[in-house]
Amino acid sequence: MSEKWNPVEGESSKKRVCYFFDSDIGGFHYGPGHPMKPTRIRMCHSLVMNYGLYKRMEIFRAKPATKREMTQFHSDEYIDFLSRITPSNMSSYVKEQYKYNVGDDCPVFDGMFEYCSISAGGSMEGAARLSRDKCDIAVNWAGGLHHAKKSEASGFCYVNDIVLGILELLRYHPRVLYIDIDVHHGDGVEEAFYTTDRVMTCSFHKYGEYFPGTGELRDVGISKGKYYALNFPLRDGITDENYQSVFEPVIRQVMETYDPSAVVLQCGTDSLSGDKLGCFNLSMRGHANCVKFVKSFNKPLLMVGGGGYTMRNVSRAWAFETGLATGVELLPDIPMNEYYEYFGPTYELDVKPSNMEDMNTQGYLDRVRNILSENLRHQGGPPSVQMQDIPRMPIDEVVEDANADEDLIPPNERRPQRLLDSRRQADGELSDSDDEGEGGRRDHTSHREAGSVNGNGTGSGRKFRGATGINLGSVNATHGAGPSGHTTVPLVITGTTSDEPSGMDVDQGAVQDSNASSRSGEPADLNGMAVDETPPAGAGTSS
């Protein structure tokens, strides 16, 4: 197949990229009318494979995160609740749903806990491979669920895979930088590390009568973490030029001042122009410029997904940014793939800005940037961390030779046709319009039986009604810190299943199974801060 990309100018050396994808992710469905559609990750993967990027990176299916791994950050009771509740028994957990903010914007749907396990597993294993120098960049587009709290779901997020990935990085790295370019504030990650200097959080987001209502300029962290939380509140309609004019100087100063040994970049695409829930005016290239700039610092980099509710634009941007991670720019003409008709009428890999007005004046951007620059000067250089032995886990010995049991896998082993048939796409599942639910179109897709349409609804049957408030009185953990607020996965060759379009040029050896997990079940030592301790509550809360 002819190449469908051009090398990125100025790339000094090729990066080793690990890309995580689980073919099951496209079968989950939040419910009819809900803006979050996991199918977008499968659409992105289809573009990645048909552009031939599998030739330039290793592709893995991560082991789903276990309950024990999730409780490194989340409370035992909350994770136990997520693992037990289903659409069929949710009527027995009314009190718990209210307590954990599950329902409405975070509905109970079929396979919800499996979905969370896949998301968290990819981020944790990506972090583990970075720490052990098995790759330079790890990509998990199923991750990036930055709103989830210790004991509460929020903003379509149930389990915070980012916090779990950072905790894995902290086992090996003294300082980790988290950068968030989602249109919403990364409140869950900021809150988790609000009192430590081991992690610096930096979020560029819309602020002002907008979910989650946190992320004010004055939120800088407390105690040992003071000045290690950075928030850049933005207004509607910011353009590529203005975004670049603040993103690059701030991140450059953060790199010089904090000197992180690893970086996590949340690439939420609801900051793109035309997003259903967003209000920014970034083009695909303007968004991708952030990836290119962060990559230029040559730090171990974990790239995760996040928001993004216009699916054709989400998949375009993440495919393009996957190419940048491998050192190439994808050509504009979209190759044939199973979702080809969805990219009409232009069939081009581009998201163009609109003519919406930019409410961010130059004076406002300069003033905020100067305040953040002053806050960074208060740090006084990168914080030091006392050296200690990295705790050895039994799984570490397995990871050092991840292919030890490779010869034990039958080379001609095939998955039964019954399993492949159960993953077929249901008609209408790709609805990306506001009229879903009209004219009798109801998508009650089950991730186990994707071909069935159940009249009584295997999904939650709930309509999305926007963000709901948090009831502080019903949650064990406090919220809004700051002034404003077990089994091994069988080998799966994802690039050669019947889910992929026929005739697609896929190297059968390109996809590997990450059977041996490199993740630790031990929480990281954050200089005396217990991971499950929530910072003192402030006046503001998510709304």
What pLDDT score does 416 carry? 63
In the three-class reduction of DSSP (H, G, I as helix; E, B as strand; rest coil), residue 340 is classed as helix
**In the beta sheet, which residues pair with residue 178?**
201, 264
Q: Is the pLDDT of residue 19 over 80?
A: yes
Options 29, 34, 147, 173, the catalytic residue = 147
d(CA 405, CA 516): 9
Closest listed residue to residue 151, CA positions, set 97, 79, 215, 217:
79
Model confidence at 199: pLDDT above 50: yes
The pLDDT, as a whole number, for residue 524 is: 53
Cβ-count burial of 455 within 10 angstroms (0-12 exposed, 13-18 middle, 19+ buried)? exposed
Of 457, 323, 393, which Cα lies nearest the Cα of 50? 323
The pLDDT assigned to 383 comes to 80
On whether residue 277 sits in a domain, the answer given is: yes
36-63 pLDDT, tens per residue?
999 999 999 999 999 999 999 999 999 9
Q: Is the per-residue pLDDT at 456 higher than 50?
A: no
pLDDT value, residue 384: 74
Report strand pairing: 58-61 vs 511-513: parallel
Is residue 291, in this structure, part of any structural domain at all? yes
Share of the chain above pLDDT 70, in %: 70
Tally of domains within the chain: 1
Burial of 323 (0-12, 13-18, 19+ CB in 10 A): buried
Report the range of poorest mean pLDDT among 341-355, 381-395, 446-460, 486-500: 486-500
Q: Is the pLDDT of residue 201 over 70?
A: yes
Q: What pLDDT does 388 receive? A: 65
| Annotation says 147 is catalytic | yes
pLDDT band (50, 70, 90) for residue 379? confident
In whole angstroms, what is the distance from residue 357 CA to residue 130 CA?
A: 41
Tens digits of residue pLDDT in 70-113: 999 999 999 999 999 999 999 999 999 999 999 989 999 999 99
pLDDT tens per residue across span 382-400: 887 766 666 665 445 545 5
Q: Which has the minimum average pLDDT: 54-63, 211-220, 486-495?
A: 486-495
Q: What is the pLDDT of residue 3?
A: 76
Phi, psi for 87 (deg, rounded to 5): -60, -30
Those residues with Cβ within 8 angstroms of residue 206's Cβ, 6 or more apart along the chain or in another chain? 183, 184, 233, 234, 235, 236, 278, 279, 280
- What pLDDT shows up at residue 426? 57
445 compared with 361, residue with greater pLDDT: 361
pLDDT at site 509? 42
Contacts 24+ apart (CB under 8 A), 503-510: 503/336, 504/49, 504/50, 504/337, 505/1, 505/50, 505/52, 506/49, 506/54, 507/54, 507/55, 510/54, 510/55, 510/58, 510/59
pLDDT range class, residue 29, cuts 50, 70, 90: very high
Q: What is the CATH number of the domain that holds 158?
A: 3.40.800.20
Establish if 110 belongs to a structural domain: yes
pLDDT of residue 104: 86
Residue 103, in any domain of the structure: yes
pLDDT mean over 460-465: 38
Examine residue 375 and state whether it is found in any structural domain, yes or no. yes
Dig out the tokens for 132 from the structure: 């052990």
**Is pLDDT at 243 greater than 90 in this prediction?**
yes
Note the pLDDT tens digit of each residue in 296-338. 999 999 999 999 999 999 999 999 999 999 999 999 999 999 9
Closest of 157, 32, 151, 47 to residue 457, by C-alpha: 32
Supply the mean pLDDT for the chain: 81
Q: Write the DSSP symbol of residue 408.
A: G
Tell me what pLDDT residue 516 has: 43
pLDDT value at residue 393 = 52
Q: Is residue 495 part of a domain?
A: no
Residue-number span of the structural domain to which 272 is assigned: 14-379
- Report the distance separating Cα 99 and Cα 89, nearest Å: 17
398-411 mean pLDDT: 53
133 or 463: which carries more pLDDT confidence? 133
Whose structure tokens read 């370019």? 181
- More confident of the two residues 158 and 381: 158
Which residues neighbour 387 within 8 Å (Cβ) at sequence distance 6 or greater? none
Flag the least confident range among 62-66, 182-186, 408-412: 408-412
Domain assignment of residue 352, yes or no: yes
pLDDT for residue 11: 77
121 domain-assigned: yes
Chain centroid to CA 120: how far? 9
